[in-house]
Amino acid sequence: MRHSKMVTATVLSAFLAAVPLSASAQSKTEETKDKAKSMTHDATTAVSDSWITAKTKMALFADERVKGLQVAVETEKGGIVHLRGKVDSAEAKAAAADIAKGIDGVKSVKNDLQVVAPEKRDMVEAKDADIKKAVQSRLSKDSQLKGVDVRADGGVVVLTGNAPNITAAARASEVAREVPGVKSVKNEINVKQAG
């Protein structure tokens, strides 16, 4: 009888010692499942965003109102389509936005297309190339701004890439704005988070 109580006490002690371990293992399992779901969601978003970009480009090439080669398409997280480039008319600009809005999965459209008559396009593009080169040259002189990419479209400079802090990102806008011919600056620079 005494041996039976001892065995019961030993089994009970082992069970009680294992309970926190199984709770910890269950917590780790849940944590792993959450991470897997998050990674799957991120991968699905990336695939669906690239799918939206491809479908939008195909639709633009298929529509005779828009010259597909004139429109650059990017899709940001969450189905936000961004249109850039130079088109021949306001009708083409509006048509491109309508086409993009009609694609499955598109939540909104940022239409940054510039209307430039074909006969003036060479002059505008040459000027944009000069602006881009000048902005890049000035940014390259600042070690904190070497990770910044530059696009120029109709005198509008778009800054993308990375900066170590918000002050450096603001300085990039200031430097770009000082270049002759720049009408405005859109700062889309990612700031690295401290920590």
Question: Any idea where the domains of the chain sit in the sequence?
Answer: 42-115, 118-191
- Whole-number Å distance between alpha carbons of 92 and 100: 12
Q: What's the CA gap between 14 and 47, in Å, rounded?
A: 49
What are 146-177's pLDDT values in tens digits?
Answer: 889 999 988 889 999 999 998 898 899 999 98
Confidence at 123, pLDDT banded by 50, 70, 90: low
Does the pLDDT at position 97 exceed 90? yes
3-state secondary structure of 141: coil
Provide the residue count of the chain: 195
**What kind of architecture, by CATH, is found in domain 42-115?**
2-Layer Sandwich (3.30)
The answer, yes or no, to whether residue 139 has pLDDT greater than 90, is yes
User: Left if phi > 0, otherwise alpha if psi is -120 to 50, otherwise beta: which for 171?
Assistant: alpha
Q: Determine the pLDDT at residue 96.
A: 93
Residues 6+ apart with CB under 8 A from 189: 148, 159, 160, 161, 162, 163, 169, 172
Residue 9: pLDDT over 60: no
Whether the Cβ atoms of residue 184 and residue 152 lie closer than 8 Å to each other: no
pLDDT value of position 140: 92
- Which H or E run contains 94? helix 90-101
Residue that has been written with the tokens 């008559």 in this structure = 117
Which pLDDT score is estimated for 46? 53
How many angstroms separate the CA atoms of 83 and 97, rounded?
A: 8
Q: Which amino acid is at 64?
A: E
* Domain 118-191 fold: Histidine-containing Protein; Chain: A; (3.30.1340)
Predicted confidence at residue 18, as pLDDT, reads: 54
The per-residue pLDDT for range 175-190, each reduced to its tens digit, is 998 888 888 899 999 9
pLDDT tens for residues 71-83? 888 888 778 999 9
Q: Tens digit of pLDDT for each residue in 14-52?
A: 555 555 545 455 555 566 555 555 554 554 555 588 888
Whether residue 131 is predicted with pLDDT greater than 90 in this model: the reply is yes
Higher pLDDT, 61 or 131: 131
Read off the pLDDT of each residue in 126-130 and give the average, rounded to a whole number. Answer: 85
CB 85, CB 56: distance < 8 Å = no
Residue type, 15: F
Could you give the C-alpha distances from 27 to 10, 31, 33, 38, in angstroms and in order? 26, 6, 10, 17
Q: Let me know: does 83 contact 121? Beta carbons within 8 Å.
A: no
> Is 118-191 the same fold as 42-115?
yes
Instruction: Give pTM, 2 decimals.
Output: 0.49
Instruction: Please report the pLDDT score of residue 108 as a whole number.
Output: 92
Instruction: Give percent above pLDDT 70 in the chain.
Output: 71
